Chain A
Amino acid sequence: MSSVSTAPAPRKRRGGARGGEAVAGWLFTLPAILIIGVFLIAPIALALWVSFTDWNGRNSPLFNDSVDVVGLENYAAITTDDSLTRELFGRSIRNTVYFVLFVVPLQTALALFLAVQVNRRLLKGKGFFRTAFYFPSVTSSIAITGVFLFLFAATGVVNRVLGALSVDGPNWFADPRGIFHILFRSTAAPPGLDSPGFLGVTPWEWMAGPSVAMVVIITMVIFTTSGTFMLLFLAGLQNIGAEVGEAAVMDGAGPIRTFFSVTLPMLRPTLFTVLTLGLIGTWQVFDQIYLTRGTPAAPTLSSPAYLAFNQAFENNEPGIAAAIAFVLFLIIIAMTLIQRLVLGERDESGMGKRRKGRDRKAPLLADGAVRLEAGPQSTTGGGLT
């Protein structure tokens, strides 16, 4: 991201006013620098320190004789120690891996589909459809979670609809069973898969898939974020313009072929942005998990972000909470790097085009991040809160 071009348009400068301009420059940026410095950069430094101490949350972690430096102990507690904390952390990672694996591809595909549909030139009522699909993106995650708890109650709307189709709906929020386990009718761990494995979680549990309860959270998040990403794709489609696709259709390519071999490759910068924001956002899932912490299947929903909160506020283990926050940060960085490698910035078409693509991406990233921040997935982009 630091590769963004910062050079403003060159302009003529008159002498004299320069000294005043320098003072004004610092005065103008001072409020933002102070707030971002004190509440964004200082917290990172303080949390890093706390993550290396055994501070119990009482008094101050600084200049406090009863606080000892314990090195990497807090990190060991969640990764290598044979402890309950590690098991909780392992489970939160397992839950979130499946959450990300399901949400990111599904929301991206759905958003792309919606964008292509509402971008059709001949479509009547474009405005209505765009509004309908985007509205969930401006509502609060709290309101949406409240509504989904109602929809997915044991005898709620969803199960009535399923009942009408003679399907016996599960008791969604009370069902901790993994959907892969259900699919393969596996009710107990077979021997060999039942001993604690990676991060203290058994291989059988690692392979469980998202729990039935998590499926509801997955559905809810896709419902609320697809509209935002639809708008990003729509911007990308409008940048391409209709002519390109029409030219391909004239050349005899069908609409589906045109989409996959012409439109999609040209949407690549947008796709990259959407996947990046999706990955960053989903790994941080918190609101929905916090709100459902009292449900019977809550252990199959917990995420690292929720566990960090839980350790700091309910377990008086701010050191462990800070360590979890940093591990989560590392995971997010690793994920975006891997995604960058896989999807690649492999623009073979020369520097000129590459630069253009990049210049367009940074504003799009900021735009998308602000939008997500404003909506129910209040989990993206640090500078935004």
Chain B
Amino acid sequence: MKERVSGGLIVGYVILVILALVYIYPFVIAVSGSFKTDAEANGDPMSLIPQTFTYAAYERLFTGDLPLWAANSAFITIVVTVFRVFFDSLAGYALSRLKFRGRGFVFAVFIAVLAVPSVVLMIPRFLVIKELGLYDTYGGMIIPLLATAAGVFIMKQFFDSIPVSIEEAARIDGAGVFRTFWSVTLPMASPALITLTILSFQGSWNEFGHFVISRQSPELHTLTTGVGSLVSGALGSGTQFPLKLAAAVLMTIPVAIVFFIFQKRIMSTTEGAEKG
């Protein structure tokens, strides 16, 4: 019995290690490819250590438009994340705690909206953005992303799980609704807030479709649309792989840093499943 178990474990290990290598390899090869010359990236794509080590791709990116794209991405990501977390928790709090006529209806609409696929909305949203005169502006790129039904839902779920007794004490002491929410309940919701912040950060940093339909000026390129134009340009010719790989590496660094810092929390699987 014991032998069979450990035998199975060894086979499991071997399979897992091979799979882990398959999952990691593309990232490793992307980093090493980004330091190769064009010729070497084409001629010898496999090697992990470049024969002639060159920063040429990075130099070209940094002297080109990439800093502008990164600035746009950073600006949009910060604004979207801050407001999204704030608006979503405000609404989540109201739906969980405050009694008002129409609350059930508002919640039902948010739940129904969850079911609308976002890609289906791309063209319709473009029509509205254009109609409002927001096309090709920061406003059109940012405002539609400032609140999400799923975020409201997650925050409501979390507030539902916090006992009301503490804030009731605060209310008796005369604190207003917003004061109670801001300085009593919200701090208790920090696990959900952190989760929502991380996911909003990743979501808006990686957002692509919305920026394809809400802007056209090169000055408004984000990293996703800018690098996207690099990636999709001159395909098949097999040229400039180091440039594309370097751009891919650079745009991955911020999400990778956030991921490794908050790894435990991001991958804690019980967060969404246990509440409710």
Contacts and interface: CB of A to CB of B under 8 A. Distances in A.
Given A294-B235, A373-B150, A381-B114, A146 B247 contact: yes
Contacts, number: 416
Nearest to A155: B42
Contact of B270 (A223, A238, A283, A371): A238
Interface residues of A, number: 136
A253 interface: no
B191 interface: no
A174 interface: yes
A50 B236 CA distance: 37
B108 A2 contact: yes
A142 B177 contact: no
Contacts of B235: 149, 173, 292, 294-295
B271 interface: yes
A35 B171 contact: no
A174 to B, nearest CB: 6
B275 to A, nearest CB: 6
Contacts of B255: 138-140
Interface string A48-65: 001000000000111000
B50 interface: no
A136 B259 CA distance: 11
Task: Return the 8 tightest CB-CB contacts between A and B, nearest first.
Answer: A383-B149, A367-B272, A25-B100, A382-B116, A47-B124, A43-B124, A28-B94, A284-B119
Interface of B: 5, 8-9, 12-13, 15-16, 19-20, 23-24, 26-27, 29-30, 33, 41-43, 45-46, 87-88, 90-91, 93-104, 106-129, 131-132, 143-154, 157, 160, 164, 171, 176-178, 181, 198-200, 202-203, 205-210, 212-213, 223-224, 227-228, 230-233, 235-236, 238, 241, 244-245, 247-249, 251-252, 255-256, 259, 263, 266-267, 269-276
14 contacts: A29-B90, A43-B127, A123-B12, A138-B255, A142-B208, A147-B29, A147-B30, A153-B42, A231-B267, A236-B273, A286-B122, A287-B209, A370-B203, A382-B120
